[in-house]
């Protein structure tokens, strides 16, 4: 069972909402950040992102969190599979 009062959980939730807001703003989406389900796919049937959308999100995330995201990284599909996975990657790699 997850301790929802744990500072780590609260920080992850805050970061997840922040990342969702970045996605909404970067792509000019007509939804609220809170409407992006953490485990829903970002590609295809979920949020419906394509490779250009992911590139735009990568640029925003790189600038905001000081990450070096590379197009040739074999793990990109995994990182961008859902909001939760993208948030976990950012949390583990960010410098800001």
Contact assessment for residue 59 and residue 70, using Cβ atoms and an 8 Å cutoff = no
Q: What is the DSSP string of 40-81?
A: SBSBTTSS-B-HHHHHHHHHHHHHHH-----TT-TTHHHHTS
Q: What is the CATH number of the domain that holds 86?
A: 1.10.1200.10
Range of the domain at 18: 7-93
In a domain, 68, yes or no: yes
37-84 residue pLDDT tens: 999 999 878 888 888 998 899 999 999 998 887 777 777 778 889 999
> What pTM was computed for the model?
0.81
What is the reported pLDDT for 25? Answer: 96
In a domain, 1, yes or no: no
Total structural domains within the chain: 1
The C-alpha atoms of residue 83 and residue 36 are separated, in whole angstroms, by 8
The C-alpha atoms of residue 87 and residue 95 are separated, in whole angstroms, by 14
In a domain, 20, yes or no: yes
């Amino acid at each position: 069972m997850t301790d929802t009062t744990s500072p780590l959980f609260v920080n992850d939730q805050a970061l997840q909402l922040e990342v969702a807001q970045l996605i909404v703003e970067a792509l000019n989406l007509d939804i609220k950040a809170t409407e992006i389900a953490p485990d829903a796919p970002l590609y295809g049937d979920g949020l419906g992102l394509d490779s250009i959308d992911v590139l735009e999100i990568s640029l925003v995330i790189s600038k905001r969190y000081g990450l070096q995201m590379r197009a040739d990284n074999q793990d990109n599909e995994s990182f961008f599979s859902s909001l939760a996975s993208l948030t976990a990657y950012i949390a583990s790699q960010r410098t800001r």
